[in-house]
Structure 1
Amino acid sequence: MGLKRYVNTYGATETMMTAVSYPEDKNIVKPMHVMPHMEIGIINKNGKFVNRGEKGEIIVRGYSVMHGYWNDEEKTQQVLDKDRWYHTGWGTNNA
């Protein structure tokens, strides 16, 4: 494709934009960069934040996270908690 540079990113339609980018330089110790005005967390099955290196579900919060699904309050309540964290469901099989 003739690309000279690329950036690997993670986001979802519900977050309206990229939430995390991974640096092109593999020598950087920090494996990812959380985008400005976004928060990323990893929680266990009990909803508690995990320690570094532990597995869990990725949750995202920030100004660009949706307010809800159109005309679907039930689905909205399944993925958005009272603190406006969007629960991606990603990683829940590994938690």
Structure 2
Amino acid sequence: MDVPIAKSEIIFRSNDGEELTTVVQVGQLRQQDEQRWACDVEIPGVERKRTIHGDDSLHALILAMGFLADRLEYLVAAGASVLSPDTREPAPISKIVPRL
């Protein structure tokens, strides 16, 4: 992702114990056409860049945030951990990517 508009640093611990310091990031919103907007999301080293579409910029942003929360919750349910880089304690997903 070239220039994220928002990001949050995390330590991702996979279910096999491997740790990676990375960022949960949201890219700049862009208008695709008169009826669609797009927003890229990525967690480098964990989740590849995905483009999330919405009916307008706010819709695309909210869907992008929801997608990130869903993916992190899925990974944690599968045995991974998301840790705070400051404390190395488990970080609630809602503190990283709040649901609206």
TM-score of the aligned structures, taking structure 2 as reference length: 0.28
- Structure with bigger helix share is 2
- Structure with bigger strand share is 2
TM-score of the aligned structures, taking structure 1 as reference length: 0.28
Q: Greater CA radius of gyration, 1 or 2?
A: 1
